A and B are shown apart, each in its own frame.
Chain A
Amino acid sequence: MLRALYSSASGMQSQQLNLDVISNNLANVNTTGFKESRPQFQDLLYDTTKQAGSQQGGGNQLPASLQVGQGSVPVATERIFTQGELSQTGGNLDLAIQGNGFFEVQMPDGTLAYTRDGGFKTDSQGRVVTSEGYPVQGGFPPVPPGTTNITITTSGAGTYTTSSGATNFQVQLANFNNPGGLDAMGHNIYKETPASGTPTLGTPGTDGFGQLEQGSLELSNVSVVQEMVNLILAQRAYEVNSKAVQAADEMMQTSNNLQR
């Protein structure tokens, strides 16, 4: 009875985490470049009273084990890197990646981080920076003063046009073997981990790298309909686990009331 109680309580805990992840996804439905998370659960160790295959005497074997589980536990929140839809903004430094790849940015402590949020701006020195002010690596030279036009093609060939001439450059993207293994730091930034692998730099449009779309931003890949369905499932799972807790409680009460 106690095992039923604690198994159901662990089930309720798991659904709470499920709800936390769903709420985070829904809160970020308008965040540029956001990638949704999906929680993964696994069952806990089983209490094996009888082992299948154990000898029963007379050459007979037990065909099935007697195993009782102990509940569930969350094991990972998987980041889903599907393409988000593109939204036209018209900003000439707004870039969206159509396909795989990340923009490389430099953090204030000197380390490199990666992002899908291509809403870039220029700072006072003309460097191309993210909305937080992190300088974008990957081939962007500082924008000279008096620049009249900035064009970046789908394969990343960029040109700044000023009245006195043009500066050409090539944008590079970074890609990982396992983007799901990246560490989310908040601020739309991801950091490399041993699980994600080291980044490989490449030209957009080649070798599995996505193409660039100037004047667009990549919207969040959260599907509101899917998340609402997950929300309903999490809520009903929580409720049904609470019923199991109540049932275990009532059974304990019945066994206590056997005496008179």
Chain B
Amino acid sequence: MEVSLYSAASAMNATEQWQDLIADNLTTASVPGTRQREAVFSAVPVGATGQGGDQFVIPSVGSEISFKQGELLATGNAMDFAVEGPGFMSLQMPDGTKSYTRDGQFKLNSQGQLVNSQGYAVQSTGGTLQFDPANPAPITVTADGQVSQGVDIKGKMAITEFTSPQSLTMLGGGMFRNDVPNMLPQPAAATTVRQGFIEQANTSPTLSMASMITSMRMFESNEKVMAMQSDRMAKTISDLSGTN
């Protein structure tokens, strides 16, 4: 059994998946609220043992979402919101469930609701935030999430925190869903809302490039292992079969 050939192939596969994650991080680096994903490597036993009973292992790649705070960019737009701290803003999905997001580029729709770019309404602690579309008074949100239109207080923006945000399911579009049955959303304790700011993606291009170089060189070294094994097999066949 050509263990080293398949080990090298699985290592190349793992580094390729790592490259995919890095590329995904870099392409979404310009989208506000994006949380980058980091590759997590673990060892999987292959089943073959070498001399002295050592287990051979191959790498397997998983991804973990990084919830490091991204940089805040001041846009001056009153409908842009950034969350500072570990919390999320809540949106109402069409199927009735809630999704959570850090991307605060909202606008008012014709019915006077604050919606994100896909049209999902921002939630307050008591349901969907509802504004008066005919009222020209500006909407202001304080640091603890209290929303007012002019002088009317419309409610408090629902900011939720989770004990383990890495377990949230990534929905795409900057939204997360809580599929963990035991993890209950908690009201924000250490989070503030900043109006007029957006939170940029928490990707670090420099570190991503360093990781990309590392993964490429690892891919290359494993490719050399495969080439070496291929040569060994070819030499064995040609030497032992007597043909030259």
Q: Do A and B come from one complex?
A: yes
Residues of A within 8 A of B (CB): 2, 5-6, 8-9, 12-13, 16, 245, 248-249, 252-253, 255-257, 259-260
The CA-CA distance from A248 to B210 in the complex, in Å, is: 10
- For the residues of B in contact with A, the DSSP-based class is helix
Contacts of A252 in B (CB 8 A): 213, 217
- For the residues of A in contact with B, the DSSP-based class is helix
Contacts of B207 in A (CB 8 A): 9, 13
| A13→B204 contact, CB < 8 A | yes
The segment out of B42-50, B79-87, B130-138, B220-228 that lies at the interface is B220-228
**A6 and B217 contact, Cβ closer than 8 Å, known pairs A256-B224, A259-B224:** no
| B227→A259 contact, CB < 8 A | yes
The CA-CA distance from A248 to B214 in the complex, in Å, is: 10
The CA-CA distance from A120 to B217 in the complex, in Å, is: 62
Number of B interface residues at 8 Å Cβ cutoff, please give it: 13
With A249-B217, A253-B220 given, can you name 13 additional A-B contacts, CB distance below 8 Å? Answer: A2-B214, A5-B210, A5-B214, A8-B210, A9-B207, A9-B209, A12-B206, A13-B206, A16-B206, A245-B210, A252-B213, A252-B217, A260-B227
Closest B residue to A259 using CB positions: B224
Contacts of A6 in B (CB 8 A): 210
The CA-CA distance from A257 to B224 in the complex, in Å, is: 8
Contacts of B221 in A (CB 8 A): 255-256
Closest A residue to B213 using CB positions: A249
Most chain B CB within 10 A, of A2, A8, A256, is at A256
Nearest CB of A to B91, in Å: 28
The CA-CA distance from A248 to B204 in the complex, in Å, is: 20
Nearest CB of A to B39, in Å: 14
| A256→B217 contact, CB < 8 A | yes
Closest A residue to B206 using CB positions: A12
Nearest CB of A to B143, in Å: 9
Contacts of A256 in B (CB 8 A): 217, 220-221, 224
